Chains A and B, each alone.
Chain A
Amino acid sequence: MDKTQNNKAWFLVLPVLVIVAFSAIIPLMTVVNYSVNDTFGDNQFFWAGLEWFEEMVTSDRLHEALGRQILFSAIILAIEVPLGIYIALNMPKKGFWASVCLVLMALPLLIPFNVVGTIWQIFGRVDIGLLGHYLAELGIDYNYTNDPLDAWITVIVMDVWHWTSLVALLCYAGLQSIPNAYYQAARVDQASRWAVFRYIELPKMAGVLLIAVLLRFMDSFMIYTEPFVVTGGGPGNSTTFLSIDLVKMAIGQFDLGPAAAFSIMYFLVILLVSWVFYTVMTNLDKEEGK
């Protein structure tokens, strides 16, 4: 759509600007302030320059947390995106069952994060959980509080349970927008199921799929509550992701300086990746507009 050039539109944006500035810029500046200062309490600050940044860049703790975080996000995306597409393709197109599926699939998305954690914590326990109990009966040695691998599997399955529906719902919305004529044309051409998917459905889903990947990437990269409730970051540090580590550092140990430096770098990584996604997305929007 052609837009009118009008700088007065700024007035309409002003309320948003004020409110977001209050809840984003002021706190962010506080973080920047901490990151370059040292404090011994009592609000006395000493200039520390880039010391905290140097400490953080070279710290093994951060590298390990970052490594785990990237691995986690990569696994999550690799499972949830294909699975979500597959589910969306199998959903009923319309009618009563479509509504039932929509409501049931959206259910996990509306559960508070810590309740999701609680559900899986209970579900996986060997003594009182359905999953843990039956795995034990099958003779599988499963215990997410002791074994790092089991903890990882639990956290990943939990995330798949929690968020695959989001990808599926997005793809479903994309599929719904494909006119029936496309399928009829494909039938006339005797296109295979794969060809229909590859050349009709996938391109039409590209836009929403990108949003799905963007949302899932961002949210999995800042995941905190669910693994915190289930494993508390353990056993050891095996499921300590970036946010968990950060909160431990900032609120648990009150190491403001390093935690602030950590925050800023963390934010920049997310910003960078999101910018790439956003640029691709706006370009896609433009192409569609043509």
Chain B
Amino acid sequence: MRLRGSALVMTLYLLFLLIPIYWLVNMSLKTNTEITSTFTLFPNDLTFRNYAVILTDPSWYMGYVNSIIYVVMNTVISITVALPAAYAFSRYSFMGDKHLFFWLLTNRMAPPAVFALPFFQLYSSVGLFDTHIAVALAHCLFNVPLAVWILEGFMRGVPKEIDETAYIDGYSFGHFFLKIFTPLIASGIGVAAFFCFMFSWVELLLSRTLTSVNAKPIAATMTRTVSASGMDWGVLAAAGVLTIIPGALVIYFVRNYIAKGFALGRV
């Protein structure tokens, strides 16, 4: 009896989650006339024109390419710098460590809106404006602290005896870190990478402020569909659907670790 109740609750909740997405997909497969003139639960006149518009126009699909470039750059940078730092936080106590850790976290808590304008000026003055690396660096603001936080949680779970044994066996620090330690927390690295990917992928405010043409992310390109001739709803919906796909793919790969990752490795 209880089991059936749970299933009902979950079904209702998942329906609540999926119906708006279904509506988006539904709209992306309709023509604009059908969208605005009639109300249909399924496309009467199935069309892939909206997707064709996006996939053939460079100013559209380059948005995806740009987004993916800076997201990947950001993920690589974040994980590379966060790994040694997380190790330091999980293994050693050093002068000012607690304050430093909290200071890092405050950057995750800082509203991007506060940083939008200074970032714009900083990156303009050093000539990085409208480049992928600018957005990647800007996203480090919140992704590096998050990566440190998650990795530290996972590293805590690795017994310290492993480090000590390795040192006794004559491993150098670098060798030990790459050959022994990194494989042990591989799942943690995967989860941290996933989160960096996710937060960089979904962020719009900073990426839009820091780009104009060459590195414009897809999320900013989407605002283009509002034109003088009215909204191009079909293309907008299709672009939306295409932004969901990379996320869905990534989730599938980390599904078994996702809950632990959200708990920042602290379960």
Contact = CB atoms under 8 A, between A and B. Distances in A.
Interface of A is mostly: helix
A110 B112 CA distance: 18
A13 B92 CA distance: 11
Nearest to A284: B266
Contacts, number: 284
A16 B202 contact: no
B24 A122 contact: yes
B109 A247 contact: no
A170 B106 contact: no
Contact of A170 (B19, B219, B259): B259
Given A128-B27, A222-B113, A3 B6 contact: no
A279 B40 CA distance: 53
Contacts of B93: 3-6
A246 B113 contact: yes
Secondary structure at the B interface, as helix, strand, loop or mixed, is helix
Interface residues on B, range: 35 or more
A57 interface: no
A9 B88 CA distance: 5
A52 to B, nearest CB: 14
B34 to A, nearest CB: 10
Given A9-B88, A19-B137, A128-B27, A103 B252 contact: yes
B262 A173 contact: yes
10 contacts: A10-B95, A12-B85, A106-B258, A111-B202, A119-B21, A122-B237, A123-B24, A128-B39, A266-B111, A266-B114
Interface of A: 1-10, 12-13, 15-17, 19-20, 22-24, 26-28, 30-31, 86-87, 89-92, 99, 101-115, 118-120, 122-123, 127-131, 133, 161, 165-166, 169-170, 172-174, 176-177, 207-208, 211, 218, 221-222, 224-225, 242-243, 246-247, 250-251, 256, 259, 263-264, 266-267, 270-271, 274-275, 278, 285
